[in-house]
Amino acid sequence: MHSGSVTTPFGRRPMTLGQISSQMAAKAIKPDAVAHKWQVFQHIREARELIGATDRGLAILNALLTFHPETTLTGDAELVVWPSNEQLMARANGMPPTTLRRHLAVLVDCGLIIRRDSPNGKRFARKGRGGEIEQAYGFDLSPIVARAEEFRDLALAVQTEKKAFRVAKERLTLVRRDIVKLIETGIEEHVPGNWGRVTQTYQQIVSRLPRSAPRQLVEDVWQQLHELYVEIHDVLESFVKNENADANESHSGRHIQNSKPDSIFESENGFREEMEAGGNVEETDNVRSLPKRELPLGIVLDACPGVRELTTGREIRHWRDFAAAAELARPMLGISPSAWREAREVLGEQHAAITLAAIYQRAEQINNAGGYLRSLTDRAREGKFSTWPMIMALLRAKLDAQNSADTDAPHPTDPVDGVGGMRVSEALLKTLRKPRA
């Protein structure tokens, strides 16, 4: 027994409650009711998912409607058509018999047509002496007239939903575009802020969207992005107001306080402290006295192991592999294309990649990676920056952490054997053992 059906003791196919409801509606049809069959059919097509109809079923319904000679159907007219299966299959683009029977049942279940079976199950019409039809057995199209207003309302609801969905997607596209532009502006204009974290927050929100998302999810994501947009916009607007208030004051050391306590933007007071902490070695070392040979790739990878995480399983065997991995870190750090291009022009491709990998390794300690890179680029242009001290500082920090963790037994990565399994020179070990300035 099927759910929602009424069985009979006569061995025939059970009649569903939906079919009974359709028959009741057909009996209650007003004699003066009028419906344009093709207009109603269009409404049914638009609302087919709400009605439960299939595309094949609608092809059959279209064929059935062609068997009624009138375009305008009325409640007092004969609305039964009796085509054979062969005729229906021909007008339904050669549909196979089994498919025809299955989708005819769907039309009946949806209440779009009603079966009017003859005693022997055949479809035919009995005519009177004057040629008028006295009794017809086949498919009753009266639901097309009886439910015409219902189908129109369902089609209107579908159209309204489609419009709302289209508007939601357009709004989502616009806010995504605006956020990207604001982030680029903040980076390009050196506005203090953790732009790498802002970019990651944006990407996390957008990642919630599958390839085909329902309207409610699209609107939820839009709401989150809109809040992010407002927050970024407020920070940029506050920065502009502060700049206009005192045009003579440099913005590089100014702190922009966001009114939201849980803002993704952080104070830039620590930015100068971070640059000073990371720049002590660069400031105190004589760049001209540093080794003239290039940094070995193995030592750089030892100092910047985080860059390996960006290669998604691929090994870094050559400098070109290293540069490609470092390139992936740039957008994650919120570094603008122009800042990266300038760094490569001044430092060279290899040393720019090393610098970027080192910044990525210390990303949690650097609030403004783009500003930091520009500062290092400016100092390199003046001959005051080299990647050697930066890498040495990272290695020294790594060794300090290892020594503090185990001061008794030799560690597998003890500098006697090398750093991270790589043998290094005595000169490099002396550099690493030097007390910090």
Look at the pTM and tell me if it is higher than 0.85.
Answer: no
Full DSSP string of 93-110:
TS--HHHHHHHHHHHHHT
Give yes or no for a contact between 359 and 373, defined as CB atoms under 8 angstroms apart.
yes
Which pLDDT tens digit goes with each residue over 364-422?
A: 888 888 888 998 999 989 888 888 888 888 888 888 777 776 554 444 444 333 333 33
Cα(219)–Cα(169) distance, integer angstroms: 8
Confidence of residue 239 (pLDDT cuts 50, 70, 90): confident
According to the model, what pLDDT value does residue 28 have?
59
Inform me whether the pLDDT recorded for 265 exceeds 80. no
User: Cα dihedral sign for 101, 103, 107, 110?
Assistant: positive
According to the model, what pLDDT value does residue 169 have?
92
Q: Calculate mean pLDDT across residues 71-76.
A: 84
Instruction: Determine which of 2-16, 34-48, 158-172 has the lowest per-residue pLDDT on average.
Output: 2-16
Write the CA distances from 277 to 64, 214, 273, 366, integer angstroms. 83, 49, 6, 10
Give yes or no for a contact between 206 and 157, defined as CB atoms under 8 angstroms apart.
no
Q: Are strands 80-81 and 133-140 parallel, antiparallel or unpaired?
A: antiparallel
Q: At what angle do helices 195-206 and 369-381 cross, to 10 degrees?
A: 140
Instruction: Determine which of 79-93, 156-170, 285-299, 324-338 has the lowest per-residue pLDDT on average.
Output: 285-299
Confidence of residue 437 (pLDDT cuts 50, 70, 90): very low
Which helix (H) or strand (E) is 81 found in, with range?
Answer: strand 80-81
Nearest-10 Cα torsion for 372, 374, 377, 381: -130
Q: Where are the alpha helices (DSSP H) in 189-262?
A: 195-206, 215-245
**29 or 145: which leads in pLDDT:** 145
Find where tokens 């105190």 sit. 284
Confidence of residue 160 (pLDDT cuts 50, 70, 90): very high
Q: What is the DSSP letter of 285?
A: S
Write the CA distances from 163 to 160, 170, 214, integer angstroms. 5, 10, 13
According to the model, what pLDDT value does residue 419 have?
38
Q: Calculate mean pLDDT across residues 304-327.
A: 84
Q: Calculate mean pLDDT across residues 51-69.
A: 91
Which pLDDT tens digit goes with each residue over 197-206?
A: 888 888 889 8
